[in-house]
């Protein structure tokens, strides 16, 4: 038994040293991230707390928790109002700090984004995980995931300066599209089942993503072409007037529908990607077993695969909600920033994130306005933190479940 040669010994020690160094660096990085996260939270709390502790020096008006959230009576109004008008132009005025419209606007924008993004993203995920041909999927999935790389500013810019004026000019056509497209796709599906088998073989289900495109274009053309006649026939040639007269809806050019479309577009890729991963990660043995016992593809999907993947789908939606609540530039550019509290999809709104972006540069450092904006920031931070943590916990449990199922004989 001879000693290892000194150079080999040295090399081993060097390698071990490198390992230690790498481990230490990675650990330090992890701790650093956690520390930074905590520090941000602590900073926000420390900045916000004086709001309720002491009388602010800049306005002389105490800010109470109730005044932030409940309607207040202001000079010149008949009834108590929720108002957000934090800057004053003369000394005898009182700034109006009603935070409720901002919270409302944030939730409303996120809700409309999810209404548009979730059905589309989940539908796409189910189709591409269960039915789509492998070749098409290998092209479409990266493309959809690439959409996620589009910066919010760009989407917001297009929504605010191109989409919003276009929809305002072609309101009837745009609404006709919204009404016509979903049933149009359903009709295509029904028609497909009625086709003779020979024809159906020419239009395989796995390639529906491609052969539906001409049909969709046809629907779009039909909706836009028919809209002026529909408007003239049913709505007296003035859909906006009709909406206002009959339904009491005022159409603002930058509204929840536009924000929902734009932000839905921004949120969709991440929801799709996560849901698709969850669905295609369901162990194949489960679906095969169900089909072997005579279940149809639909039954397999609905009764076996979806329940198995449901935590993953849930966390995909949660991640989408977190992104929609925190998204700033799209809401800033496409919502009109009107601090309203209405349910109407044709009204604008003002979100907390957009308010922070617009107002923080002008807020006097340490003043009430500044602290209120940081309170909004804290609320956003807590919300996205909770939502993301929840999503991550659920996903971890899902991975565990898959491992167990996959390992079963």
**Residues engaged in binding other proteins (CB under 8 A):** 74-77, 83, 85-87, 89-91, 93, 96, 160-161, 164-165, 168-169, 238, 240-241, 244, 250, 252-254, 332-333, 336-340, 347-348, 350, 358-359, 361-362, 364-365
Q: Write b or e for each residue in 332-361: b if 16 or more Cβ atoms lie within 10 A of its Cβ, otherwise e.
A: bbbbbbbbbbbebbbbbbbbbbbbbbebee
To other proteins, the closest distance from the beta carbon of 101 in angstroms equals 8
For residues 270 and 337, which CB has a smaller minimum distance to other proteins in the complex? 337
CB of 325 to other proteins, least distance (A): 20
* Distance, C-alpha 387 to centroid of its chain: 12
Positive or negative, the CA dihedral 127, 130, 136, 140 is positive
Minimal distance in Å, beta carbon 80 to other proteins?
14
* Minimum CB distance to other proteins, residue 136 (Å): 39
Per the CB < 8 A criterion, the answer to whether 109 and 349 are in contact is yes
> Phi and psi of 84, rounded to 5°?
-120, 100
CB of 355 to other proteins, least distance (A): 9
Nearer CB in complex with other proteins: 58/392: 58
Cβ at position 56, least distance to other proteins in Å? 13
Judged by CB, which is closer to other proteins: 182, or 241? 241
Which runs of consecutive H residues, i.e. helices, occur in 203-328? Answer: 208-234, 239-242, 256-280, 284-292, 297-299, 306-326
Which is closer to other proteins, CB of 56 or CB of 86?
86
Residues 6+ apart with CB under 8 A from 46: none
CB closer to other proteins out of 96 and 388: 96
For the CB of residue 125, give the shortest distance to other proteins in the complex, in Å.
Answer: 36
Distance CA 154, CA 333 (A): 10
**Closer to other proteins at the Cβ: 361 or 409?**
361
User: Would you say 103 or 120 has its CB closer to other proteins?
Assistant: 103
**Four-CA torsion 343, 345, 347, 351, nearest 10 degrees:** 70
- The Cα-based distances of 395 to 29, 381, 388 in angstroms read 24, 21, 10
């Amino acid at each position: 038994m001879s000693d290892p040669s000194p150079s080999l010994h040295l090399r081993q020690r060097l390698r071990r040293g490198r390992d230690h160094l790498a481990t230490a660096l990675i650990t330090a990085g992890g701790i650093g991230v956690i520390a930074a996260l905590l520090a941000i939270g602590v900073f926000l709390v420390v900045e916000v707390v004086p709001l309720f502790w002491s009388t602010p020096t800049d306005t002389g008006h105490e800010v109470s928790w109730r005044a932030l959230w409940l309607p207040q009576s202001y000079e010149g109004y008949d009834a108590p109002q929720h108002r957000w008008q934090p800057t004053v132009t003369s000394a005898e005025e009182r700034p109006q700090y009603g935070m409720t419209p901002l919270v409302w606007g944030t939730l409303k924008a996120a809700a409309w984004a999810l209404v548009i993004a979730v059905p589309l993203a989940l539908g796409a995920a189910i189709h591409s995980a269960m039915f789509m041909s492998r070749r098409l999927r290998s092209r479409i999935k990266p493309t959809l995931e690439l959409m996620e790389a589009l910066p919010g500013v760009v989407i917001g810019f297009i929504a605010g300066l191109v989409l919003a004026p276009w929809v305002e000019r072609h309101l009837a056509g745009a609404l006709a599209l919204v009404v016509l497209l979903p049933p149009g796709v359903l009709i295509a599906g029904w028609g497909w089942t009625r086709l003779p088998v020979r024809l159906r073989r020419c239009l395989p289900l796995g390639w529906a993503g491609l052969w539906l495109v001409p049909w969709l274009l046809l629907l779009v053309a039909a909706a836009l072409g028919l809209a002026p006649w529909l408007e003239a026939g049913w709505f007296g040639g003035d859909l906006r007037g009709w909406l206002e007269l009959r339904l009491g809806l005022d159409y603002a050019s930058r509204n929840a529908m536009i924000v929902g479309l734009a932000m839905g577009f921004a949120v969709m890729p991440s929801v799709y990607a996560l849901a698709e991963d969850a669905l295609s990660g369901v162990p194949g043995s489960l679906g095969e077993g169900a089909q072997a016992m005579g279940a149809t593809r639909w039954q397999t999907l609905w009764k076996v695969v979806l329940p198995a993947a449901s935590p993953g789908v849930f966390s995909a939606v949660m991640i989408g909600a977190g992104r929609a609540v925190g998204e700033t530039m799209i809401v800033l550019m496409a919502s009109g920033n009107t601090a309203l509290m209405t349910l109407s999809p044709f009204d604008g709104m003002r979100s907390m994130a957009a308010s922070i972006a617009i107002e923080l540069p002008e807020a006097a450092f340490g003043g009430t306005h500044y602290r209120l904006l940081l309170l909004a920031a804290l609320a956003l931070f807590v919300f996205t933190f909770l939502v993301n943590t929840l999503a991550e916990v659920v996903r971890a449990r899902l991975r565990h479940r898959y491992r167990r199922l996959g390992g079963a004989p």
